[in-house]
């Protein structure tokens, strides 16, 4: 189960979203704030979710119900599933891009016409691809179909086992790329950007971005970990698990920074238009070009990334499916269709918002970015505040300490500080960051 938890956590969040958010927030200072968020808030909130799940033995709503939470509190559970669902809708689009890049790596098309004029650079290629109406949409739809196939075919276990093998390979691959990046011409400039804090660029928005990214990447506030932990055996050391999962997830994100920023500086990619969603897709092919066997590295990487992303989408979809089955007592087939069919509308709209619908904005954001911001920077923090307050103040007495200590059989010095963080620091700090972020 721990491997499955890592599988849900490590995904496009670390590899695609983290470098983009780090870049948008000015690098070094963001990294420090991000690490702070993971350790001070991410690990305790993860433990809160684990405790609720293992004690309540169900999904987010069901667990809270069986632990005696009233309707109001349970709505946070509902909100978490909604957040997960919104994330799933635009995440599918990026999984589609990943699979397209895998395909173009296999056919060699991605590297066939690389040249100096804009259209044949990777940036030009990516821009043209995502703003096209049909190709990215078809890739997105194919990914939704594959997800449905996995959910209905009952092959999740197989995918999980596969990913247990492939995740370490992905990890090794990232280490190789980190080493290669060391000798890029302007590597030092890249490291300086990513590692040296420049506090002058920090605003209240930096904090909310770091917090949202930490929760997104650790799959927190989505109800995913509540559900996963309901399968944890009684003797799992929750604290150790949370620390391991969080640090591994953090490590993958940091490694991505150590690859992307040296490349961005060395290949002159810090110009306009490749920030954000396209950053990784433009930068990594440049890195592969610097390596013998470009195509092989590229195929391997995008394949592993696709598997990592698939374990994440399946984990979210499964939670929503379990929740629908539980609430409405319908068959698995019906539940899968209820969850997945709406994605055939929402995800293509997200895909189109990079091209044909890019003129449609909500609060000045494209539909894709609006859903991302709403789910990541609003819903995830709100859900986490709710869960922490409920668990810290209103849940049955002793629930948290029992879960952290496995009913007294584990001695952990961290139990007290964790309880304090869940009761006081997490709700107050997240609330402050949240309010300041929107002032």
Our CA angle for 363, 366, 369, nearest 5°, is 90
Instruction: Pick the piece of the chain touching ligand PHE (CB under 6 A) from 3-11, 104-112, 138-146, 325-333.
Output: 3-11
Work out which of 298, 315, 376, 403 binds ligand PHE, going by CB under 6 A: 315
Query: Minimum Å distance from CB 355 to ligand PHE?
Result: 23
Q: Is 9 in the site for ligand PHE (CB under 6 A)?
A: yes
Q: Is 351 in the site for ligand PHE (CB under 6 A)?
A: no
Question: Could you give the 3-state DSSP secondary structure of residue 425?
Answer: helix
Measured from the CB atom, the residue of 67 and 214 that comes closer to ligand PHE is 214
Query: Minimum Å distance from CB 219 to ligand PHE?
Result: 4
CA atoms in the 13 A half-sphere facing the CB of 398: 4
DSSP letter (8 states) at residue 119: G
Q: Is 80 in the site for ligand PHE (CB under 6 A)?
A: no
Query: Minimum Å distance from CB 5 to ligand PHE?
Result: 10
Q: Is 263 in the site for ligand PHE (CB under 6 A)?
A: no
Q: Is 8 in the site for ligand PHE (CB under 6 A)?
A: yes
Alpha helix stretches (DSSP H) within 267-358: 279-289, 294-328, 332-340, 343-352
Number of residues that bind ligand PHE (CB under 6 A): 17
d(CA 45, CA 42): 5
Distances (CA, A) of 109 to 14, 115, 121: 26, 13, 12
DSSP-assigned states of every residue in 212-253: HHHHHHTTTTSSHHHHHHTTS-TT--HHHHHHHHHHHHHHHH
d(CA 265, CA 287): 12
Measured from the CB atom, the residue of 11 and 62 that comes closer to ligand PHE is 11
d(CA 52, CA 419): 14
Work out which of 208, 316, 389, 418 binds ligand PHE, going by CB under 6 A: 316
Q: What torsion, rounded to 10 degrees, do the Cα atoms 386, 391, 395, 398 define?
A: -170
Query: Minimum Å distance from CB 192 to ligand PHE?
Result: 26
Within 12-41, the residues that bind ligand PHE by CB under 6 A are 12-14
Interface map 82-101 toward ligand PHE (x if CB under 6 A)? -----xx--x----------
Q: Is 312 in the site for ligand PHE (CB under 6 A)?
A: yes
Query: Minimum Å distance from CB 24 to ligand PHE?
Result: 17
Instruction: List beta partners, residue 365.
Output: 362
Instruction: Pick the piece of the chain touching ligand PHE (CB under 6 A) from 9-17, 51-59, 257-265, 273-281.
Output: 9-17
d(CA 295, CA 426): 45
Task: Tell me the residue number closest to ligand PHE, measured at CB.
Answer: 13
Q: Is 217 in the site for ligand PHE (CB under 6 A)?
A: yes
Tell which residue, 352, 344, 356, 345, has the closest CA to residue 368: 352
Binding site for ligand PHE (CB under 6 A): 8-9, 11-14, 87-88, 91, 216-217, 219, 224, 312-313, 315-316
């Amino acid at each position: 189960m721990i491997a499955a938890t890592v599988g849900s956590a490590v995904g496009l969040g670390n590899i695609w979203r983290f470098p983009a958010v780090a870049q948008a927030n000015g690098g070094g200072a963001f990294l420090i704030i991000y690490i702070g968020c993971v350790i001070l808030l991410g690990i305790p909130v993860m433990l809160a979710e684990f405790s609720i799940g293992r004690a309540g033995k169900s999904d987010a709503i069901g667990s809270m119900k069986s632990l005696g939470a009233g309707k109001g509190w349970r709505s946070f559970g509902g909100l978490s599933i909604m957040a997960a669902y919104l994330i799933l809708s635009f995440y599918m689009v990026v999984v589609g891009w990943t699979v397209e890049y895998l395909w173009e790596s296999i056919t060699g098309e991605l590297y066939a016409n690389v040249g100096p004029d804009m259209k044949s650079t990777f940036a030009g290629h990516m821009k043209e691809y995502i703003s096209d109406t049909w190709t990215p949409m078809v890739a997105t739809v194919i990914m939704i179909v594959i997800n449905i196939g996995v959910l209905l075919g009952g092959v999740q276990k197989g995918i999980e086992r596969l990913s247990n093998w492939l995740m370490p390979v992905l990890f090794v691959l990232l280490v190789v790329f980190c080493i290669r990046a060391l000798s890029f011409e302007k590597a030092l400039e890249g490291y300086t950007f990513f590692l040296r804090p420049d506090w002058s660029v920090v605003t209240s928005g930096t904090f909310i971005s770091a917090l949202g990214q930490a929760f997104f990447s650790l799959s927190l506030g989505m109800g995913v970990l509540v559900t996963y932990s309901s399968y944890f055996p009684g003797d799992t050391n929750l604290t150790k698990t949370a620390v391991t999962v969080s640090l591994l997830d953090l490590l993958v994100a940091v490694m991505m920074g150590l690859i992307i920023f040296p490349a961005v500086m060395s290949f002159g990619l810090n110009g306009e238009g490749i920030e954000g969603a396209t950053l990784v897709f433009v930068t990594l092919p440049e890195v592969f070009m610097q390596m013998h066997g470009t195509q092989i590295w590229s195929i391997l990487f995008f394949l592993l990334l696709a598997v990592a992303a698939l374990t994440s989408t399946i984990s979210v979809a499964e939670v929503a499916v379990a929740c629908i089955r539980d609430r409405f007592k319908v068959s698995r087939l019906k539940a899968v269709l209820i969850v997945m069919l709406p994605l055939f509308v929402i995800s293509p709209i997200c895909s189109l918002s990079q091209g044909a619908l890019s003129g449609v904005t909500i609060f000045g954001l494209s539909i894709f970015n609006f859903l991302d911001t709403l789910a990541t920077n609003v819903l995830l923090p709100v859900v986490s505040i709710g869960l922490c307050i409920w668990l810290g103040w209103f849940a049955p007495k002793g629930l948290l300490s029992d879960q952290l200590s496995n009913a007294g059989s584990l001695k952990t010095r961290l139990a007290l500080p964790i309880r304090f963080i869940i009761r006081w620091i997490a709700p107050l700090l997240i609330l402050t960051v949240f309010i300041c972020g929107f002032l």
